[in-house]
């Protein structure tokens, strides 16, 4: 490291750092003219939907290790915000999350896994900000309409009860609640929600709106004083680091309340590095929340591996700490919500950006990024061309910071040529020249992230390597005997796509089926994606093609009851309605059907089964090559149905409509 003081030169050895007051472009970091906006944190989003589904199925110690990488301060991502879905019994991207109120007279605050996840996050970081947002609602909230705001008093009460339940049953204080709908937002509802929150003693819970686009919410807030008072945060999804002038004029806090949504390889890490800085530099957004928190859903569902890290093999225990975890740490381990951005932040002359924050007690953190265009593309919106070149920059520390003599240094370098990427490496501290005012220089290469900070306790957390990756076991059984596991109400490894499949204990039946898995949604939810007309939950290995599946089934509806087991299910998420596979259906009217699709349009075989409601039956489906056959209670019902597509996919169970039905003694034997 070469440092010049006056006309004298002194030679010091270091790594990557070139300290100088006379070389390269100059950038001032100064608080004497005032500060910028207050930093609100970096976060992750669990939900929207079912993106943490497989996490709760991990055994210890791996589950706790994953949580530490996400939430433990000074260890990994050290997230400062956790946003979760308020489950609405509906498909919301990669699956369905259960509601706390399936029906109007039903309340249960132990369904799903978001309660558990919030508790675990809070256990690790008591100061973490908690946010709830409903993406969908049970059908009764819409009162027969696929729209949640026709009866805003019902919707507001539904959301407020979730917030009250979080406190009463889990001692969780929700800090913010979001307002979102893909199609629009409703000013009357926002005002009524604010009124309902206040009436129930929840004045401290603030509202984020519209959790979608800058407009029309900005213009409406700007023109409506009551709405302006009701909304605390203008939150947007995927802003591309930009805002609109009118949003700045409102004086409201601006957040990127959903961002990233990008495959978590090194290009995804570059996307995350660029937007974490430039959301503030370009758009004055003081919080950025990643969709999603952790990729804990099957890879072949939509947006596979779009989380900050990957943990989608609970059967093996394998997980991967991806690059976005360490890019997050460059900011979160050296700041806290409430720190202030400096006004003197911006872009480097030769590409890239820098931000600087202070706690106003003498601490300073500077984060630089020089991510090139092709190595930092996010999934959305489109990224316009720009250039970044290697450069030497000199920072001049002025005002309160002029007396700083040393900064800790953390460095990440994405190397796309040799794949020798270095992430969150602690380098030798940089000495700051105190001639006239503090100065130091740095040679910045492309695709790098640096943190320079007075905070000394950063740490690159580490655990022993988890078990190696392994496919879903070829032999798998579950008798759905709920043992009181407090983490979730659904069976491990099942990923509900439409409908909700929950553990059910029949207290009036002490027999072999007193503990089952039950589909409980009986009315089409209010949703922004196309839920299927049938309910379906998938499990297993998407590459499976030849296998045998068996399951005990029980139809509860005498008139319209129908259930299925299926193999080679080829789609999920928001396109589940168009999924294909081999579906074996039986009905309460005594018939059966074999179809090549979930909608039942392509019939391969059909006939009489003798099945009826409120009787247990065992279904067995076997598929080998182009042929499928099935048994009912051990007797052949049909065989050798000819099929050509699809060639592989998940296993699934489900019902023919939104109806009550039960499943037990589920088993898979994959043959190939």
Residues in the chain: 672
Phi, psi torsion values for 310, nearest 5 degrees: -120, 125
What is the per-residue pLDDT for 19? 39
**Residue 105, CA distances (Å) to 65, 96, 140 in order:** 39, 21, 10
Does the domain at residues 475-670 carry the CATH identifier 2.60.120.560?
A: yes
Which segments of the chain belong to CATH 2.60.120.560? Answer: 475-670
- Encode pLDDT of 330-374 as tens digits: 999 999 999 999 999 999 999 999 999 999 999 999 999 999 999
**Residue 349, CA distances (Å) to 277, 346, 354, 370, 439 in order:** 16, 9, 11, 11, 18
Q: Is 97 a catalytic residue?
A: no
Q: Is 258 a catalytic residue?
A: yes
Residue whose C-alpha is closest to residue 238's, from 378, 37, 384, 39: 378
378 by Cβ neighbours in 10 Å (0-12 / 13-18 / 19+) ranks as buried
Which residues contact residue 59 at a Cβ distance below 8 angstroms, ignoring those fewer than 6 apart? 314, 317
* 444 CA to centre of own chain: 32
Which residues contact residue 245 at a Cβ distance below 8 angstroms, ignoring those fewer than 6 apart? none
Catalytic residue among 120, 258, 502, 659: 258
Per-residue tokens: 18: 């070139």
Residue listed under structure tokens 């390597």: 465
Q: Can you name the residues that pair with 129 across neighbouring β-strands?
A: 81
Peptide bond into 216 cis (omega under 30): yes
User: CA–CA separation, 406 vs 330, rounded Å?
Assistant: 18
- What is the DSSP code (8-state) at residue 658? S
Pairing mode, strands 406-413 and 35-38: unpaired
- Encode pLDDT of 145-173 as tens digits: 999 999 999 999 999 999 999 999 999 99
Residue whose C-alpha is closest to residue 51's, from 256, 264, 234: 264
Catalytic residue among 182, 203, 360, 645: 182
Residues of the chain with pLDDT under 50: 1-23
- Whether 50 and 500 have beta carbons less than 8 Å apart is answered as no
Which segments of the chain belong to CATH 3.20.20.80? Answer: 29-375
What is the per-residue pLDDT for 11? 35
Residue whose C-alpha is closest to residue 193's, from 513, 267, 182, 180: 180
**Residue 274, CA distances (Å) to 205, 266, 442, 472 in order:** 31, 12, 19, 36
Residue whose C-alpha is closest to residue 488's, from 200, 222, 113: 113
Residue whose C-alpha is closest to residue 279's, from 315, 243, 304: 243
What is the per-residue pLDDT for 144? 87
Does the domain at residues 29-375 carry the CATH identifier 3.40.800.20?
A: no
Residue whose C-alpha is closest to residue 211's, from 306, 94, 131: 131
**Residue 50, CA distances (Å) to 91, 97, 174 in order:** 8, 6, 20
What is the per-residue pLDDT for 40? 98
* 499 CA to centre of own chain: 20
Where is 606: in which H helix or E strand?
A: strand 603-608
Phi, psi torsion values for 497, nearest 5 degrees: -110, -40
* 105 CA to centre of own chain: 30
């Amino acid at each position: 490291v070469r440092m010049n003081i006056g006309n004298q030169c002194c030679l010091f050895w270091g790594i990557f750092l070139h300290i100088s007051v006379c070389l390269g472009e100059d950038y001032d970091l100064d608080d004497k003219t005032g500060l910028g906006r207050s930093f609100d944190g970096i976060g992750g989003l669990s939900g929207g939907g079912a993106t943490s589904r497989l996490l709760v199925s991990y055994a210890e110690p791996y589950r706790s290790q994953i949580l530490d990488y996400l939430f433990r301060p000074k260890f990994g991502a050290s997230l400062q915000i956790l946003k979760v879905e308020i489950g609405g019994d509906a498909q919301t991207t990669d699956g369905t999350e259960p509601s706390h109120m399936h029906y109007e007279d039903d309340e249960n605050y132990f369904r799903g896994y978001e309660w558990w996840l919030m508790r675990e996050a809070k256990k690790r970081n008591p100061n973490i900000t908690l946010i709830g947002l409903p993406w969908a609602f049970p059908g009764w909230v819409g009162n027969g309409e696929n729209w949640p705001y026709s009866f805003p008093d019902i919707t507001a009460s539904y959301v407020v009860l979730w917030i009250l339940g979080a406190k009463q049953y889990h001692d969780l204080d929700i800090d913010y609640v979001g307002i979102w709908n893909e199609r629009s937002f409703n000013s009357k509802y926002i005002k009524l929600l604010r009124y309902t929150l206040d009436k129930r003693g929840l004045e401290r819970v603030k509202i984020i709106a519209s959790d979608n686009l800058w407009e029309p919410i900005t213009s409406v807030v700007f023109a409506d004083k009551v709405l302006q008072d009701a909304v605390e945060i203008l939150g947007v999804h995927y802003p591309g680091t930009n805002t609109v002038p009118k949003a700045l004029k409102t004086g409201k806090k601006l957040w990127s309340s959903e961002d990233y949504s990008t495959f978590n390889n090194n290009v995804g890490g570059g996307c995350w590095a660029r937007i974490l800085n430039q959301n503030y530099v370009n758009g004055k957004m003081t919080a950025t929340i990643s969709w999603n928190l952790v990729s804990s859903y099957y890879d072949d569902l939509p947006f596979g591996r779009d989380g900050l890290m990957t943990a989608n093999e609970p059967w093996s225990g394998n997980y991967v700490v991806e690059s976005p975890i360490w890019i997050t740490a460059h900011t979160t381990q050296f700041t806290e919500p409430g720190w202030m951005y400096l006004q003197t932040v911006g872009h480097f002359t030769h590409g890239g950006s820098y931000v600087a924050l202070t706690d106003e007690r003498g601490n300073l953190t500077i984060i630089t990024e020089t991510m090139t265009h092709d190595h930092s593309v996010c999934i959305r919106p489109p990224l316009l061309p720009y250039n970044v070149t290697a450069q030497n920059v000199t920072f001049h520390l002025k005002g309160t910071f002029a007396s700083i003599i040393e900064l800790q240094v953390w460095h990440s370098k994405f190397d796309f040529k040799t794949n020798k990427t270095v992430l969150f490496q602690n380098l030798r501290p940089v000495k700051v020249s105190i001639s006239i005012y503090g100065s130091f220089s740095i040679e910045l290469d492309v695709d790098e992230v640096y943190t320079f900070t007075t905070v000394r306790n950063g740490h690159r957390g580490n655990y022993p390597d988890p078990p190696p990756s392994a496919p879903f076991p070829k032999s798998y059984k579950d008798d759905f005997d709920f043992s009181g596991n407090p983490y979730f109400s659904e069976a491990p490894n099942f990923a509900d796509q439409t409908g909700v499949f929950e553990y059910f204990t029949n207290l009036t039946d002490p027999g072999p089926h007193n503990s089952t898995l039950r589909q409980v949604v009986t009315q089409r939810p209010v949703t922004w994606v196309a839920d299927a007309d049938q309910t379906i939950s998938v499990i297993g290995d998407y590459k499976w093609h030849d296998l045998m599946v068996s399951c005990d089934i029980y139809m509860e509806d005498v008139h319209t009851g129908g259930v299925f087991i299926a193999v080679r299910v080829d789609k999920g998420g928001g396109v589940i309605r168009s999924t294909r596979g081999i579906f074996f259906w039986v009905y309460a009217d005594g018939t059966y059907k074999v179809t090549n699709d979930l909608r039942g349009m392509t019939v391969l075989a059909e006939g009489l089964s003798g099945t009826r409601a409120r009787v247990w039956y065992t279904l067995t489906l076997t598929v080998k090559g182009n042929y499928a056959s099935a048994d009912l209670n051990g007797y052949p019902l049909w065989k050798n149905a000819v099929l050509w597509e699809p060639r592989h996919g998940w296993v699934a169970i489900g019902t023919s409509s939104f109806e009550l039905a039960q499943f037990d003694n589920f088993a898979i034997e994959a043959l190939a």
